[in-house]
Structures are given as C-alpha cells and as structure tokens.
Amino acid sequence: MDLSLTPSQVLIRDSARAFVRRHVPRAELVRQAKDGETWDPVWFAHFREAGWTGALVPTASGGLDLDPLSAVLIFEELGRGAVPSPLIASSVIATGLLRGCEPSEQRDTALTTIADGTMILIPALRKPDTSWKGVAATCTELTERNGTWVLTGSKVFVPFADAATHFLVSVSTPGEAVPALAIVPADTAGIATRPLAGFLQANHEVVFDAVPVRGTGVCYAGDLSFDDSLAVARVVVAAYQVGGMLEMLDMSVNHSNTRVQFGTPIGRFQRVQDHIIRLLNAMDAAKWTTYEAAWAIEAGRDGIARSYLAASTASDSYFEAANAAHEVHAAIGSDPRYGLTLYTRISRTMYELLGPPGWLRRRMADALAW
Amino acid sequence: MEFELKYNKAQEQFRDEVRTWLAANVPDGITARPRSFEESYAIYLKRRELGRKLGAKGWLYPSGEKQYGGGGLDLDRIIVLEEETARLGLGLPPYYDSGGKMGSASIRVWGTEDQKQRFLPPIYRGEVRSWQLLTEPSAGSDLAGVKSTAIRDGNVYVVNGQKIYIGSHHGADRYWTILVTDPKGKRHQNVSWFMIDASLPGITTQPLHMLSAQSEGETDEFGHKNIIFFDNVRVPSDCLVGGENNGWKVASTHLEVEHSGQGNIRTNPVWLALLAHCRNQQRDGRPLIEDPDVRAKLAEIFSRLEAVRLLSTRNFWMVYAGEKRSYEGSQVSYLRKTTNLWLTKAVLDLLGPAALTSDPVLGAIGGVAEAQQRRGIVEQHPGGTTDIQRVVIARRLGVGNREPQQAGRLGEEGLARKNPPAAQPVEA
C-alpha cells in the first residue's frame, strides 16, 4: 500500500493549483456571481491550452487520456477555487458518456473537438416532471417526419447551457425507442435556452422545437450502460466537490482563529470546534472515497461501484460541510461579498448533478451484486 | 390536560367578525413573492396600510394594553386573531417590525409611564415601523461586546458607531438599539437601550445584500439588509429605556422574545405549502404524494416539524398561563433553526433541483422551496446562533453546578389568568 502521489501527479496538481491562485481571485468570482456571469471564456482558453479540455479524451483523439487520479487532482483544485466553467459538463460528463458509446465517426469527431476546445458539448438529460432513474430513463422520444428524425421537448436543469456549442441530448429513436445520445449544434433553429434563477449555479431550461436530428449525429451505448460508463466522470465531479470542502475548511479554520468574540478567538469555543470537525469529517470521507474510487477504476477493482459510492458521499458531504461552515461563520458567511456562499450554492447545484445520492447508493448496491 | 383548542360561542362570533373584516381589508397580492424592488415596495406599502387598519382596531398588537393603543384582548381572542391571520399567510404585524415587537415588550417591562405613553401607541397602531439594531462588525454573538457609544451631553446622548445586518427593504421610522453609555464601565454594566427616531441628523444607511432576509427584505436570489451608521447623532435623553447602564437587564426581556420565549400556535407555512404541492404536482405521471418514497420523506418532515410546533405551543401556553419558564424559549429557537436547516436537504431530496429555482415555471411551490433553501441557512444566526441557544439552555438548567439562570420577563405573563379563558366546548 502507498497512498502518496507520484511526482507527475504532484506536478499536475500544482499546475492546477497555481492557475487558480494566479488567475481566479475570489473577489472576481464574487463580482461575476453578482453580475450574473456564469463562466469566463478567458479561463476556458487557459484550460484548452493546458490540455484540460481533453484530460479524459483518448490520445488517439487528441486528448491527454489522464489516469482517473490525475484528473481528480486537477478538478479538486478547480473545485477548491470554485471555478465556474462548462469544463465539467463538456470535458468530463459529455466525454464520459461519449467514451461509453459504440465507436463511430461522429463520436470520435466530437471527442477530438472537445479535446481541442472548439466544441463545448453540454449534456441535456433531465426531463421535466420526471424523477431521475438514470440517463436512459431521461430520453425524449424522437419522431420521424419526411424521413428525418425530429426532436421536440424540453430538458431542464442543464448546466452551462449558455456556453454550449453543441448539446448532447438523451433521446430514443422513433419506433424501436432505443436509448441514444444525439449531438445537436446549439445554434440549430428551434432551440431556445432560458436561464433559471435561484439558489443554483448556471442552470438552464433548453427547449427543442421540431429540431432536426441527423442519424449520423446519434450515438448508442456500448458494452456498459450510460450510467456505468460515467464512472470516471462521477469520480472527477466528486473531486471538484472535495476541493470545495477543502477550501471551506481553510476558510472556517482561518475565521475561527481571527474572529474574536467574548475576548477570545471563536475557535477556542468547543461548539465552534465541533462545527469545524463536522466539516473536516465530511470532507475527508468524500476525499478518500473519491481517491479510492479513482484507484479502483484504474486497478479494475469494482471501480463502477466505488464511483457510485464516491459520488453519493461527495454530494452528501458537500451539503453538510457547507452547513457546518455557515455555522462557524454565522452572519458573515451569508454575506455574498465574503465568498462562502459561492461554495454553498455549488454544493446545492451539484447535489443531484449525476443523480440524487439515494439513487447513486442503490446503483452502488446493484454494481456490487448485493 | 387538553391539547385541543376548543372555541366558545363568543370566540366563534369573534372569528366571524375577524374573518369578515380580513376579507374586506386584506388586499390582493399581499402575500405574493416579490420579484423586484418595485414589487417589494408595493407589497410593503399594502402591508403597512393593513397594519394601520389592524392597529386602529387594536388587532395589530392584540395583547398590548388598551391605554397604550394595544388591543387589550384576552387570550381567547388573541388565539383567534393568530389563526385567522395565519390562514391568509400573514403574521402580526404583517410586516417586519423587529424593533416594534421586541422594543414594545421591553418598554412594557422596563419603560417609564411617560415612555409607554410616547413609544407604544405609534407601534401598536401601526403608525411606525421599527427595527432592532444589535449586531456590530465586532459584536455578533457577543452582544455585550458592542462598541457603539451614546455619551451624555446635557439633555441628549451623542451616538456614534455602526450596526450591521439590520432590517430589510424600505426603511424604518425608529431604531431600537443597545449602546455603550459608560465606555469605562464593566462589561454588562456599561450598556443601555434607546428607542431612536430614524430621521435624526447624522444617521445614514448603506444597503447590504445577504443570501436571504426576512419578510419584505426578500426578493429573488438575495435578501436585503443594511448597515446603519451613527455620526454624532443627538438623541434626546428621554429615549433611554430602563435606566442608564442597566441595559443588560433590559436585554433579558428583549432576548427572551427574540429567542422564541413567547411561543406561538402556528403550523409551519412551508409544511402546508409542501404538502399541498405534493398533492397537486405530477411526477412520473402521478401525483407526487402517491410515490412511496415521497410519502416516507413527507412523514419524516412532518414528524420533525410537529415536535417544533408542539414545543412552541407549549411556550405560548406557559406565557399566558403564567407558568414559570426556564430553557423553553431557547430550546424552541434551537430546534427551529436546526430543523429548518435539516429541512433544506429533506426538501431537496423530495423535490430535486426544482427546490433550487425561483423560476416561475420550474420552481417548486412558486419559489417558496427555493427561498426556504436560502433562509434555512441564514436563519442559523439572527437572534442568537444555535451555539448561543445551547449555552442559554445549559445555563437555565444549572448545568455545571451553577445557579439556574432565570428566564427574562415578557410583560405578558399570566394573561390567561387575568382574563380567565372561556375554553368551553362549542355548543351544538
């Protein structure tokens, strides 16, 4: 057993950490959130130059094809910085879904252009008034009109839809109703995107009104189900959540050491210490289930089951950690200028990003053949 | 023991009167969720107007003494008023009036007769809206650590300093605040309370957006609070309430009210909205409430909220029955705060991301769920954090071999005994 990082993994982590420290000041994130800016194209350009847009894309398609733990380390740092970006949606989730699909020209072209940063492919999966039962259960049925497949319907809670060059839409084919994923250019006539206000980050409703879908733009699941093929994506998303918890822990410890009440730093009070320990335990539970899942995927040791465990733990933990951080900070934490609410909002937005924790745990049990 | 509220004929007649009056006087849209400053202001004006009408009938502060403009009502009628206004989604007062509620309670207990006659009638009649000003940048949980000063100069006090996380949108007429009157004095023996005219020269207000805020401070995605600055504000000396440097004793009443010591008999409005939503909203082609997982989660939520409701009802009864109180106020405050934070996750599990958006189409319960997601977090700190509540509970119990601390006086103790309740069954 050796739980340390390799020198190359340390290098990757430090590179991501340096980017966040140099280019993503918290004051700028606070300003962007206040002004309703959802993502920064300049930062995205940096991700492209660093190769992170293709972090999980096979080298044959121009990507880095990083091992899961290396990808985890990059996204942990981005999560620590609360960096808002379509990178997770496109280069992690959409890429994971495409990698699980049967090989095809359109799939490989998409992966290549995701890697080089010219395509931002945003998954549009959830249907309105429908509970989450996996990707295949979210499909919107295509219809056939004059020999062409047509997509009509809406997808909700689509992350960073405003950044999309293309959407990856869960659909089912006319007639046989085979679950599939359609790659649809975002500028196609009949597509309307609407931002959703509230306590969530960069979510949208995307309405497709008689949008033509080419048969060549449709990808089908390979050997694994769509959900199981998202194993790496789940672990990388969990890492982003872990990064957020790490930062909230730092903020809380720092605040407890500098905020003075009753003539002493509040960190001297056991009740405040209790909140910080709650946060710490939530963070470490998520961090180590995430790290182990990344290892398990690479080592071929129940990686899919472990990814479900990591995802459910990280979602529950981020929620709990944010609550604990707010208890440490009291009113100051609820002032958006301070920056804690950036993380709180992400903890809520990502809670069900790849399915609710309860569903993820059921999938874990299935994957372990209990 | 009898938990059921039974109503006599007089109460039912009073209910008919209240219901008829409210139907005629509560304007449409008064409980709508504002989506802009302009909408918020329009609703606020409606609420203030309703407050003045309620005040004219003595229904704005129904337990307040009649000679000061209150209703002077007995417990039977107060209960009916609470129920009927709650039925319409309103409280009493129907606007954010923290300084009015806690200031008037404190003045009833600690004010001079002259102060009662000057300060209480405008509050009770809805002519003024008052905010409490407690927190300062360096004094949150540590209220006794406030730094803003009020230094005597002849027949005025000169006030300097700042208060933070104050009020809501649309301003206030008066500020109920605690200030240092003896900078060299010992902690707890150096502070005093003032009811200050908010229009005095030298007072400035800076808006502050928070994650959430109470009542009319709430609009989409943020809540509106304020920082209030005092720059050599000359406050008449007869605005000091409860005696100079006696503020920590006066605080016992203020904090008892703020810490839920008065209790109430209301059902959590979020619960009622949530239940109705689950009955009416379709998911997977059937009403949400038919989903076994939803039913189980609803039952769990109901169980938690019922405990809070019952203990709050107990507090309400204890005050008006004149029962000796101890830890009960802080206990309810603690449980309400922790339960509402727990509820944010329970509701998210129940409704999914629809609970996170105020979108008019996709937002669950017309945006009520989204507001609860933010409010459940922010509610942790006003009126004493959960940590402070636990400290108070322990002290009231005498934990640590201390003399058990006494609960603060509220001024409404034993109302039911002074006005014997006519809790007889309704005649057939």
Backbone dihedral angles phi then psi of residue B153, each to the nearest 5 degrees:
-145, 90
pLDDT-based confidence at residue B220 (cuts at 50, 70, 90): low
SS3 content of chain A, % helix, strand, coil (to 5): 55, 15, 25
Give the contacts of B299 (CB within 8 A, at least 6 positions apart).
none
Of A130, A198, A269, the CB nearest to B283: A130
Mutate to test the interface with A, among B380, B386, B388 (most CBs of A within 10 A): B380
Cα dihedral: B332, B336, B338, B339 (round 10): 130
Look-up of token digits 């004095």: B185
Subunit contact B377:A344, Cβ cutoff 8 A: yes
Closest in B145, B281, B359 to A198, CB measured: B359
**Rounded distance, CA B349 to CA B334, Å?**
23
pLDDT at B420: 44
Domains of chain B: 9-95 (no CATH), 130-245 (2.40.110.10), 259-418 (1.20.140.10)
More confident residue, B218 or A252: A252
- Closest CB to A331 among B209, B374, B381: B381
Per the CB < 8 Å rule, is A200 touching B139? no
Torsion of CA B161, B162, B167, B169, to 10 degrees: 110
Task: Reply yes or no: is the peptide bond before residue A185 cis, omega within 30 of 0.
Answer: no
- Flag if A334 and B221 touch (Cβ within 8 Å): no
CA neighbor of B159 nearest in space, from B171, B143, B147, B168? B147
Using alpha carbons, select from B206, B181, B208, B179 the residue that is nearest to residue B195.
Answer: B179
Residues in chain B: 428
Is residue A91 exposed (0-12), middle (13-18) or buried (19+ Cβ within 10 Å)? buried
A77 vs B369: CA distance, rounded Å: 32
Q: What Å distances lie between residue B240 and A240, B27, B258, CA to CA?
A: 54, 38, 20
Let me know the angle formed at the C-alpha of A235 by A234 and A236, rounded to the nearest 5 degrees.
95
CB A326 within 8 A of CB A344: yes
* pLDDT score, position B219: 57
Residue B384 reports pLDDT greater than 90: no
pLDDT mean over A65-86: 97
- Is the pLDDT assigned to residue A215 strictly greater than 90? no
CB of B327 closer than 8 Å to CB of B393 = yes
Using the beta-carbon criterion (under 8 Å), do A261 and B345 form an inter-chain contact? Answer: no
Considering CB atoms only, which of A260, A322, A348 is closest to B356?
Answer: A348
Q: Do strands A166-172 and A121-124 pair parallel, antiparallel, or not at all (unpaired)?
A: parallel
Is the Cβ pair B362, A199 closer than 8 Å?
no
Please, what is the average pLDDT of chain A? 96
pLDDT in tens, A257-300: 999 999 999 999 999 999 999 999 999 999 999 999 999 999 99
**Which stretches of B158-268 are DSSP H helices?**
247-258
Q: Say whether pLDDT at A134 is over 80.
A: yes
Say if residue B402's pLDDT is above 90: no
Model pLDDT for residues A326-357, shown as the tens digit of each residue: 999 999 999 999 999 999 999 999 999 999 99
Picking from B208, B284, B367, the nearest residue to A130 by CB comes out as: B284
Question: Rounded to an integer, what distance in angstroms lies between the CA atom of residue B107 and that of residue B253?
Answer: 9
Q: What does the pLDDT read at residue A290?
A: 98
Least Cα separation, residue A369 to chain B (angstroms)? 23
Please say if the pLDDT value at position B218 is more than 50. Answer: yes
Chain A, nearest residue to B356 by Cα: A199
Structure tokens at A323: 């609550």
pTM of the model: 0.93
Residues of chain A in Cβ contact (below 8 Å) with chain B: 126, 128-132, 156-157, 196-200, 203, 205, 260-263, 266, 269, 271-272, 319, 322-323, 326-327, 330-332, 334-336, 341, 344, 348-349, 351-352, 356-358
**Phi and psi dihedrals of B46, rounded to 5?**
-65, -40
Long-range contacts of B420-428 (CB under 8 A, 24+ apart): B421/B74, B421/B75, B421/B76, B422/B8, B422/B10, B422/B11, B422/B76, B423/B2, B423/B5, B423/B6, B423/B8, B423/B76, B424/B6, B424/B8, B425/B6, B425/B8, B426/B6, B426/B7, B426/B8, B426/B9, B426/B12, B427/B8, B427/B9
Chain A residues closer than 8 Å to B382 by CB: 331
Instruction: Report which of A370, A318, A303 is spatially closest to residue A349, judged by C-alpha positions.
Output: A318
Secondary structure (3-state) at A207: strand
Q: How far A131 CA sits from the closest chain B CA (Å)?
A: 7
CB A336 to CB B210 under 8 A? yes
Q: What's the whole-number mean pLDDT along residues A130-143?
A: 94
pLDDT grade, residue B32 (50/70/90)?
Answer: confident
Of A156, A262, A335, nearest to B362 by CB-CB distance is A156
Task: Kindly list the structural domains of chain A, giving each domain's residue range(s) and its CATH number in brackets, ordered by start.
Answer: 7-115 (1.10.540.10), 121-220 (2.40.110.10), 228-367 (1.20.140.10)
Q: How far apart are CA A70 and CA A9, in angstroms?
A: 6
* CA nearest neighbour of B228 among B255, B200, B250: B200
* Percent of the residues in chain B that have a pLDDT greater than 90, as a whole number: 69
Residues from chain A that touch B377, judged by Cβ atoms under 8 A, are: 322-323, 326, 334, 344
User: Rounded CA gap, B223 and B109, in Å?
Assistant: 32
Q: Which of A204, A214, A282, A207 is nearest to A242 (CA)?
A: A282
What crossing angle do the helices spanning B269-280 and B328-351 adopt, rounded to 10°? Answer: 20
CA distances from A60 to A55, A57, A64, A115 (A): 13, 8, 9, 11
Q: Do A200 and B353 touch (CB under 8 A)?
A: yes
**Of A276, A336, A314, which is closest to residue B377 (Cα–Cα)?**
A336
Contact across the interface for A341 and B211, Cβ inside 8 Å: yes
Mean pLDDT of A77-83: 97
Per-residue pLDDT of A236-261, as tens digits, reads 999 999 999 999 999 999 999 999 99
Nearest to B377 among A129, A334, A335 (CB): A334
- The per-residue pLDDT for B425 is 40
* Closest alpha carbon within chain B to A324: B377
